[in-house]
Amino acid sequence: MKLLKILLVFFIFTGASFAGINVEYQYDGKTYQGYYLEVNKSSPLIFMVHDWDGITDYEIKRTEMLNKLGYSVFVIDMFGKGVKPVTLDEKRALTGALYKNRMKMRGILNAAIDKAKSIGANVKSAAFMGYCFGGAVVLELARSGADFKSFITFHGGLATPPKQDYSKTKGEILVFHGSADKAVKIEDFANLVKELEKYHIKHEMITYSGAPHAFTVFGSKRYREDADKKSWKRFTEYLKEIFSL
């Protein structure tokens, strides 16, 4: 009993988890640290990409919510082990550098996918999701031709970079967007619809009235409970559909 109490204190004060593990992978000589929470080796896998804050309690909370529904989750770190941006300038610098170097963005994603394979995650039955910056990253992977069931974005960047298109996209696209989002233009939403139709990519795109950018982030001024709950409900229903659960 005394040992159990000591362990409980350790986990509380270190923020460690009984179920989740930190996973490290490398790209171009740099170490990245993601987070993996497993149900079992055969359970469907969700890759999650963080917003411009990096991996925080928000992503861990969403991971736990998905885990309770029967999904293993691999949270991908795009910034590097120990990199925790605080100021707006730091966040803009980190995301801006990746927006300017799309090959690096894809390289980090593929390194994370390889790591997931190496630890036995069910990569053959997987989907990608992302928040804000992470949503834009997920669509980058979709355009690369990566073979996954679906690419899902919550209030993510929707503009297609110059000289890119969805001609190689293999999975479905699911978009949750706030109509009051001032960071991501509604014109980008409309243009994405046209692009996906052009290349016959199966998609579902939903807008929520009055919802600003980052409307799913608990506790923030931008949080909109109605839009968050509706988008999460549709998201989880959709996952059951694509994984035939």
Q: Which domains does the chain have, with CATH numbers?
A: 26-242 (3.40.50.1820)
Q: Is the pLDDT of residue 40 over 70?
A: yes
Query: pLDDT band for position 5 (50/70/90)?
Result: very low
Rounded CA-CA distance 175/166 in Å is: 15
pLDDT digits (tens, 9 = 90+) for 152-173: 999 999 999 999 999 999 999 9
Q: Burial of 62 by CB count in 10 Å (0-12 exposed, 13-18 middle, 19+ buried)? A: buried
Query: pLDDT digits over 114-157, tens only?
Result: 999 999 999 999 999 999 999 999 999 999 999 999 999 999 99
What predicted TM-score, i.e. pTM, was given to this entire model?
A: 0.91
What span, in angstroms and rounded, lies between the C-alpha atoms of 207 and 154? 10
The two most distant CA atoms of the chain are separated, in Å, by 64
